[in-house]
Structure 1
Amino acid sequence: MSKLPRTAGVRGGGNDPRGAHTRGMTASDTSGAPGVDGYDAVVLAGGAARRLGGADKPGVRIGGRALLDRVLAACAGAATTVVVAEPRPTARPVVWAREEPPGGGPVAALDAGLSRTTAGYVVVLSADLPFLDQQTLRRLLGGLASSDAEGAVLTDGEGRDQTLVAAYRSAALRRELARLSDEHAGLNGLPLRRLVARLGLVRICDPVASFDCDTWDDIATARTRIREHEHVLDEWISAVKDELGIDLDVDTGVLLDLARDAAHGVARPAAPLTTFLVGYAAAQSGGGPEAVAEAARKAAALALRWADEDSAEAKPDTE
């Protein structure tokens, strides 16, 4: 299990090396990692969750979203996303797979998932990573593509490999799966470390994205962190976009500035109404970040003109 660093800054500030507003990136942003034309994703979501008393861990909600849905949002740029588990409702479309027999362990599950993929790169993820994001996957895929390694693995703050937060060359995984199957007359019950032991790996340290939820204490920690002042807005916006099925990366600072100008220069209720109208106008003109930015620019200019008319210096004939 990975532990969160004691310093602040899970997302959007503090000591987070990834900086602000890393959530909400579009699929093209993620697949655009250096040297990567595309990738598939395999999410292992069929564990027994014994340390949670057998609870449905992928369905546990953090910030209003199931853990599985948070991971699926992070790998939204994948050409194909395979979830190895019994089918369930998810916020994003996925391909379902299951190892035979069910409960055969992570290596058998990975083999079942990998059989449904075709890309040369595959990210392999557990379903209990509340702070995983698309930027992290870009770093893993970019690190893999720019090296001769066969895998890029995230490490936690203590330097331990997190082999279920990693990107691999698919051919290398298939080779090692075949070798293990031959040596052990199957894959059931084998630990993941056997699979990656012979792979050449590059490592990227990220104590935040590697944090996983094995216990109820871990879940409580994650729920607390996303509600801290420096993270809560990004987390809320990400949750709303996921809930509404919106894949749109916009400059939230522009919208916040607009809301401030409307609230101060016009009236407090003008802030939410104005931002709603900006979104509606952007949709009417075709949508996209550029449409949002242009509508916000026009509305902000109007709010400033409105406020200027009410200032002491304004002349009667000022437009």
Structure 2
Amino acid sequence: MSTTHYGSGGPSGPGECLFDAVVLSGGRSSRLGGVPKSTLIVGGSSLLERTCRALDGARRLVVVGGPSSDLPSRAELVREDPPFGGPAAAVSAAVVHLMTDPAPWVLVLACDMPRISDALPALMSGALATGASVLAHDGGRDQPLAALYRWADLATVEKQEVRNLSMRSLLARVTWSPVEVPAGSTTDIDTWADARQFGVEEPGAGR
């Protein structure tokens, strides 16, 4: 497995930390008519491919969702319980999967943010500076699905009932800091109008 070093932050910050990465790709994509977000092609690659490629420095790469031909060979595929149970259920499934061999830090990303690679340096630097879990702050909002969590914080979610739980509720006991990231780096694709901003057209459009 590859490792990446981020300075020398000592025991409270990432320092020469190993981080695991979790990619959430198992939503219903109901506002896209059921077309999986992970399969949308932006810049010649699917959103799942783009997100995973941005995580080359992760020690372990866990993808939560269904099988996909776009998964890199090193990805560890898990499924949330119940399937399509929402992001809190997906994060919980990843935590359970990582429990036997966790890194000190876990980067959690939704797979529907085409520019997310622009936000990662700020998240890493923010964690190093604060020693705390950090969430991307972009356009006036905090993004819990673009965040670098201390394993000690994230491990607590494994004990919660996660069915239909929101991410905000899941993380209610986690102490975190907001980190400013480049504007638009966490812009996500929820609708076909969003997709068109990245050059993705709805199937059958214009016919």
- Per the TM superposition, whether the score is higher than 0.5 is yes
Instruction: Give the distance between the partners of 1:46 and 1:36, measured in 2 at CA.
Output: 31
Q: Structure 1 residue aligned with 2:193, among 217, 229, 234?
A: 217
> After TM superposition, what 4+ stretches of structure 1 lie above 4 angstroms from structure 2?
none
- Matched with 1:129 is 113
Give the structure with the larger helix fraction.
1
- Matched with 2:12 is none
Structure showing greater Rg: 1
Instruction: Give the distance between the partners of 1:43 and 1:91, measured in 2 at CA.
Output: 11
Instruction: Give the distance between the partners of 2:153 and 2:179, measured in 1 at CA.
Output: 19
- Matched with 1:259 is none
Instruction: Give the distance between the partners of 1:95 and 1:78, measured in 2 at CA.
Output: 12
Three-state SS of the structure 1 residue aligned to 2:156 is: helix
- C-alpha contact (below 8 Å) 1:36/1:145 kept by paired residues: no
Three-state SS of the structure 2 residue aligned to 1:47 is: coil
Give the structure with the larger strand fraction.
2
Three-state SS of the structure 1 residue aligned to 2:146 is: strand
What displacement does 1:202 show? 1.6
- Matched with 2:54 is 74
Structure 1 residue runs of 5 or longer lacking an equivalent are 1-26, 225-319
Superposed counterparts of 1:154-233, under 5 Å:
154-157=136-139, 159-178=140-159, 181=160, 186-206=161-181, 207-223=183-199
Superposed counterparts of 1:107-122, under 5 Å:
107-117=88-98, 118-122=102-106
What displacement does 1:171 show? 1.5
Normalised TM-score (structure 2): 0.84
Sequence identity, in percent?
A: 36
CA gap of 1:176–1:111, structure 2 versus 1, over 3 A, is closer
What displacement does 1:223 show? 2.5
What displacement does 1:191 show? 0.4
How many residues are aligned here?
187
- C-alpha contact (below 8 Å) 1:154/1:204 kept by paired residues: yes
Three-state SS of the structure 2 residue aligned to 1:154 is: strand
| Structure having greater relative contact order (Cα 8 Å, sep ≥ 6) | 2
What displacement does 1:91 show? 5.5
Normalised TM-score (structure 1): 0.55
Alignment deviations for residues 37-83 of structure 1 (CA, whole Å, 9 cap, x no partner) = 21000111001111111111100101111011110011111111100
- Matched with 2:11 is none
- C-alpha contact (below 8 Å) 2:48/2:71 kept by paired residues: no
Letter in 2 for 1:130: P
Alignment deviations for residues 86-129 of structure 1 (CA, whole Å, 9 cap, x no partner) = 11112522100011221222111111112233111000000101
What displacement does 1:208 show? 2.1
